[in-house]
Amino acid sequence: MDRRNMAGRNMADQDTARNAANQDGGERTGRRNCAEHGSQDSKPTNQRIRAKRIGKRIGKDVGKPLNSAEAYVDGHLSRTALISLIILTFITFVGNFTQLQLSSALPTIVEDFHISVTTGQWLTSVFQLVMGVMVPLTAYLTRRFTTRQIVITSMIVFTAGSVLAWLGPTFVIVLLGRILEAIGTGVMWPVLQITVFSIYPLSRRGFAMGTVGMAMSVAPAIGPVIGGWQTDANGWRSIFMTLTVIGVASVLLAFFGLHNFGATDRNAKADFFSVSLSIFGFGGLMFGFTNIEAHAFTHPLVWLPILIGIAGIIWFVMRQIHMAAAYRAWERADNAAEGTESAPVPAVPAVPESETGTAARTTADTTAEHTATGGGTATPAQKAAGVSNRGTTTPAKSSESEQAPRTSPAPRPALLDLGVLRNTSFTVGTICAALSFFAFSSIMVIIPLYIQNDRGYSATMSGLIMLPGAIGQCIAQFCGGRLLDRFGARPVALVGSATLLIGTIMMSMIGTDTWIWWVSISQFTRQIGMGLVLMPVTTWSLNCLARQEVSAGSAVTNTVRQIAGAIGAPVMVITMETLTRVFHAGGLNATLANIDGVKWTLRISACFVLAQLLLVMFGVHGRGAGSAREAAQYAIKRMRSHGSAEN
């Protein structure tokens, strides 16, 4: 047996012994307390006391990295980990909150700067595009820099962008401020997601992701409410003034209360040329599409950016595939040269432990190591330093192994490891998430235009009409995590997709005299469906990956859905305005033509949701997916048990 496997077994034995000792100590304390205070069960109290003591001890050193054993103790988060997780959740909430906050203010901004709606919607779509470009850098940033460095720097950039947009005299300056805001918040959701996966065991990830996802899902929905109220009360610039204050507060919170998670590697590399390719690719594609409104397709401002965008995307994808293959080949050669070819790491069980009771148990340290960084295989620099990707100490090599012939220097890893898309289940989950974001983001731009321009309501009223949807998605997101742990992803996602489709069809029935709260009810129905689709499918798809692939999978799925949302808004706005011109040329007045354009755009959006429903129906299956039959049998069993209890 080679040294690496022996070291892994020794570490596992040490973790097992330490956990057993902690459990025995807790049981002895519990028996002593029971003897002193009666038969009251004191084990939960002892667990909380132990977690609080660890939190106080670690809290003395803010810069000290937290490992999973210190963060999650006896089924509870330590106080220090809880505070850090709350700070990360709040900052990520701010980023998602900012994402669509200007949707209610968009008609006013378009009027103030005398620009078209297609140009004005760049304030929301470019935000999502930049966030999508920033997501692939998360793997590099989390390896190269500490959690505190990433978060504090991100919030400083966000605050600078908010100041620029607040005081910018032209639309271009305001757009530049939005780009800086997106750069500042683009990495926060992946960082939070990786942190949650590294802290919580598999059986609790559904609940944890549902809890933080509840905040993340409600943020873009309440953003238009607050933005609309601020626009009517003090003008749209007050939105950015408030974001400036929030940015400063976030910097202070991160500086004084946030702890680091995991170790860093100063020799980590990133492929910034691929970042440039992704910007030119997706940015050029969006720029060309948005110019269709003002120019014919044969105009160079239309076909040339689209051609450059398509070429950039193809080059980007081919480069990622080539670099990933080269890096894997180098790893195999390096392991063979050392004579320490390691066995493959088993995949993370797709079935939550609460479903089967027999899911494989792994130590929290191992889960954090592989989940947070994409695996425990050390990079060459980390091997030399005796440290793995997340700071797990590796055994010192003998002089004989140190003198073994070395391979060539490590090639730069791919920005996005698209190899995870070979996993069919992960690909299905990623496409489902992309379709959801495409439909959601586009409607969040189109509906405020209908409410304000076609029906004459204020920006505040527009936000209030959309508010019940935020509440519905908040509830569904929280319940979706629990339902995922109990039933699996398939039945939950099926119900969610069907609900999202029904809500979209309901919204497509609007007209000139439609009861305005019908829009609110329809949006409430849609966002209930969104909450029951997005988080369960995403969590299931990541659980279907091998443990060392989770970080790459998280980057891919977050990038794809952000770009889908960024492309969805301009594509649907252009579709709406094109249809409006067609109906207007057919003899309808401007208002009726615009309403018909909105209605047919919503029907096209419903087609995308239908495609998602079919994809869930036929694509979400296997371990961890569950089944609708099991969910129905469980519901019938509960109803019968309640009936027998009443009798």
Task: Of 566, 587, 614, 647, give the one whose Cα is nearest residue 287.
Answer: 566
DSSP for 442-507, please give it: HHHHHHHHIIIIIT---HHHHHHHHHHHHHHHHHHHHHHHHHHHHH-HHHHHHHHHHHHHHHHHHH
Q: Show Cβ contacts of residue 14 under 8 Å, excluding neighbours closer than 6 positions.
A: none
Q: Which residues pair with 289 in a beta bridge?
A: none
Q: Which residues pair with 77 in a beta bridge?
A: 72
| pLDDT tens by residue, 159-176 | 999 999 999 999 999 999
Q: Which CATH architecture has domain 78-322+418-632?
A: Up-down Bundle (1.20)
pLDDT computed for residue 15 by the predictor? 46
| pLDDT tens by residue, 196-229 | 777 776 667 667 776 776 667 667 667 888 888 8
What mean pLDDT do residues 5-14 have? Answer: 45
Q: Show Cβ contacts of residue 579 under 8 Å, excluding neighbours closer than 6 positions.
A: 596, 597, 600, 601
What mean pLDDT do residues 606-634 have? Answer: 72
What mean pLDDT do residues 138-155 have? Answer: 84
Q: Which residues pair with 261 in a beta bridge?
A: 66
Q: How confident is the model at residue 238 (pLDDT cuts 50, 70, 90)?
A: very high
Parse the chain into domains and list their residue ranges: 78-322+418-632
The alpha carbon of 254 is separated from its chain's Cα centroid by a whole number of angstroms, namely 20
What mean pLDDT do residues 537-554 have? Answer: 82
| pLDDT tens by residue, 316-351 | 889 988 888 888 888 788 778 776 544 444 333 333
pLDDT computed for residue 225 by the predictor? 82
Sign of the CA dihedral running 547, 552, 558, 561 = negative
Is pLDDT at 637 greater than 70 in this prediction?
no
Structure tokens at 166: 């607040």
| pLDDT tens by residue, 239-281 | 999 999 999 999 999 998 888 776 777 777 778 888 888 888 8
Burial of residue 358 (number of CB atoms within 10 Å: 0-12, 13-18, 19+): exposed
Q: What is the pTM of this model?
A: 0.65
| pLDDT tens by residue, 385-408 | 333 343 333 444 444 444 444 556
Task: Of 195, 170, 165, 197, give the one whose Cα is nearest residue 180.
Answer: 165
Q: Say if residues 136 and 278 touch (Cβ distance below 8 Å).
A: yes
Q: Say if residues 576 and 436 touch (Cβ distance below 8 Å).
A: no
d(CA 325, CA 341): 18
How many C-alpha atoms does 22 have within 13 Å on its Cβ side? 18
Q: Say if residues 103 and 223 touch (Cβ distance below 8 Å).
A: yes
